[in-house]
Amino acid sequence: MGGVKTIELTKRQETIIEIVKREGPITGEQIAEKLHLTRATLRPDLAILTMSGFLDARPRVGYFYTGKTANQLLGEHIKSLSVGEYKSVPIVIQENASVYDAICTMFLEDVGSIFILKKEGYLAGVVSRKDLLKASMGKTDLDSVPVGVIMSRMPNLILCRSEDSLFEAAMQMVTHQIDSLPVVRPHPSYNQEWEVMGRITKTSIVKAFVELGQAMKV
């Protein structure tokens, strides 16, 4: 079984961490002297370890160990990612559009759900593949049924905002077993109205996961 992959450090970077753990706060010059290297040679390593969060530095004091493991730092970084960084363009239709129109839109856009808007442009509901499949299995004329009849309506939807944590959005999707969330902002005057700014999907989460994996080698 594979374990959780951690940030990979060089032997010299690991040695620097051990020195700072043992003797910090300690200056860069003192670390360089212990390793028999120049301060200039160590500067990139110290910069990497500081930016990664393993070490911190204070002017005229020196470097000290933060006490955090690689996995703790990675967890903190994951929780710092925002919805706004990974949201994509929302796929929307008006609530008076037909179920047939919704099916065509979902097929053409290759999405798992569509956000339904009121005529004023604000979020009214959401329709999923499962909703459309149920509707299409009936004997109803799909051209004559408004999608608003079969959608899940506000206020019973799970929403997120651009400033929210991507981690929290992913947790909501797992908890409620849904494949996407509308990214919204409130109407400046009406608290119950939401403008759709984007969407977060399972694909968004995979994209973030892949980018983190590519960045894990320091």
**Which tokens belong to 34?**
């212990």
pLDDT at 7 over 90: no
Domains annotated for the chain, with CATH where assigned, are: 11-67 (1.10.10.10), 83-210 (3.10.580.10)
65 φ, ψ (degrees, to nearest 5): -80, 135
For residues 218 and 197, what is the distance between their CA atoms, to the nearest angstrom? 34
Whether 5 has a pLDDT exceeding 50, the answer reads: no
Per-residue pLDDT for 60 more than 90? no
> 185 falls in which pLDDT band (50, 70, 90)?
very high
Q: Which stretches of 43-144 are assigned E, i.e. beta strand? A: 55-58, 62-65, 92-94, 113-117, 123-128
pLDDT the model gives residue 197: 94
Per-residue pLDDT averaged across 61-76, rounded? 71
Residues 6+ away with beta carbon under 8 Å from 214? none
Residue 178 and residue 78 in contact, taking contact as beta carbons nearer than 8 Å:
no
Q: How confident is the model at residue 61 (pLDDT cuts 50, 70, 90)?
A: confident
Q: What is the DSSP-derived secondary structure letter of residue 121? A: S
Q: Three-class SS of residue 188?
A: coil
Higher pLDDT, 210 or 214: 210
Angle (CA) 52 54 58, round 5°: 100
Give tens-digit pLDDT for 131-167.
998 888 866 688 888 999 999 998 789 999 999 999 9
Per-residue pLDDT, 214: 60
The token duo for 158 is 């799970």
User: Residue 217: what pLDDT?
Assistant: 43
Q: What is the pLDDT of residues 97-122, one digit of tens each?
A: 999 999 999 999 999 999 999 988 89
